[in-house]
Chains A and B, each alone.
Chain A
Amino acid sequence: MTDHCPNAFEETQISGHLDGELTQAAEQKVRIHLEDCRHCRALLEELRAMREATMSTEFSKPDDSQWDERPRGGASLLARGVGWIFAVVWAVTLVMYALWQFWQGSANLVERLLVFGGLSAFALLFVSVLLDRISSARTDPYREVEK
């Protein structure tokens, strides 16, 4: 863009002035500059017209029938959380017990290695997917939007 202030005034302050977000001293500085700078006055007026148009824009809203029922809180949420904890503890205990029984059982070394080798392969695949997800989350360009 070539249409910047010819006096190299910090134009960011124009937006601060428009929004009434400057300190008294900064506000005074902007007012003095605006008296002398035709370019910044024109910019201010354009931004003001745009802001007035956006602020007065109304949006269609969905009626009440389009909304899902409010999520229930309290007891049902607590029950669901406790239920999940119980389910995970139960599943982990069951798998550990089954593996222990298998290891202690009559299976020979080859059978044991086949079963544990397969499980190890699945575990490694899971870990690799997890590492990929973590890596992509760290390098995601959209993360910068948050900063």
Chain B
Amino acid sequence: MTESQPAPAPVATLPPSEAQTVILAQQGAEDALDTLARSCRQQAYVFALQLIGNPDDALDVAQDAMVRFFRSLDRFDASRPVRPWLLRIVRNLVRDRARRMRVRRTESLEPAEDALSFEPKDPMPDPEARSARRELQTLLWSCLRELPPSYREVLVLRDYQDLAYAEIATTLKIPRGTVMSRLHRARRLLREVVRRRQNDNGEVRND
């Protein structure tokens, strides 16, 4: 593979407020613990939802993730960013859950459509463009479920969670070069799934 030398990780420096909050929380300060809980639980929920697709299951996973998060907080190196660590906890719980579901064969492949919230921070002025964007967002969200877990994870971490490659490598414990190659394969596969769905729905492509 011709993977390039890794660029300096943009996440190496931690916002001081987060590090201070973690240190205070490790010392048992209730305010810091509450602040950490508020900031982390929504991140845990959204990531779980993106991996699982079902809001109820995502909430269960996020609750479990927060329990594990606080139980292992004392062992966490406060000089490191919290997010990759939190997301790794969520990802491991999702994998455990997938393993159980594979045995029980009860999981639905269809994601919950009401999981999306169509109130963008920066609404597009053109209603047609906004409508097309929403349609594509819904389609991509639906097609994401058809990807294998390893592809879904890396795609969600990059394109939904907006993590840098270095952060994804930390979260998934894989080399940075593997992040790039796996991400590209995931994107190509997602594109194929989207095209197939569009063909099934009778939409004609121009290319």
Give me the interface of A with B, judged by CB distance under 8 Å: 1, 10-16, 19, 21-23, 25-26, 42, 46-47, 49-51, 53-62, 66-68, 70-71, 73-74, 77, 140, 142, 144-147
Contact = CB atoms under 8 A, between A and B. Distances in A.
Contacts of A55: 159-160, 162
A19 B34 CA distance: 34
Interface stretch (B16-24, B78-86, B183-191): B183-191
Contacts of A74: 28
Contacts of A10: 1-2
Highest count of chain B CB atoms <10 Å: which of A16, A26, A42, A59: A59
Contacts of A25: 4
Nearest to B28: A74
Contact of A58 (B55, B119, B191): B119
A145 B153 contact: yes
B61 to A, nearest CB: 12
Given A15-B183, A50-B187, A70-B70, A57 B173 contact: no
Contacts of B188: 1, 11
A70 B66 contact: yes
Contacts of B37: 70
Given A11-B184, A59-B49, A61-B46, A73 B7 contact: no
Interface residues of B, number: 66
4 interchain residue pairs of minimum CB distance: A26-B4, A15-B184, A54-B159, A58-B117
Given A53-B140, A55-B159, A70 B181 contact: no
Contacts of B63: 67-68
B28 A73 contact: yes
Contacts of B116: 57-60
B120 interface: yes
B184 A62 contact: no
A54 B137 contact: yes
A53 B49 CA distance: 17
A101 to B, nearest CB: 39
Contacts of A68: 63, 66
Contacts of A11: 184, 188
A145 B172 CA distance: 9
A53 B133 contact: yes
A146 to B, nearest CB: 6
Contacts of A60: 55, 114-117
A25 B2 CA distance: 12
Highest count of chain B CB atoms <10 Å: which of A54, A55, A62: A54
A15 B155 CA distance: 11
B1 A47 contact: no
A19 B50 CA distance: 20
Given A57-B160, A68-B66, 9 more contacts: A13-B2, A15-B183, A22-B7, A25-B4, A50-B159, A58-B117, A60-B116, A70-B37, A142-B98
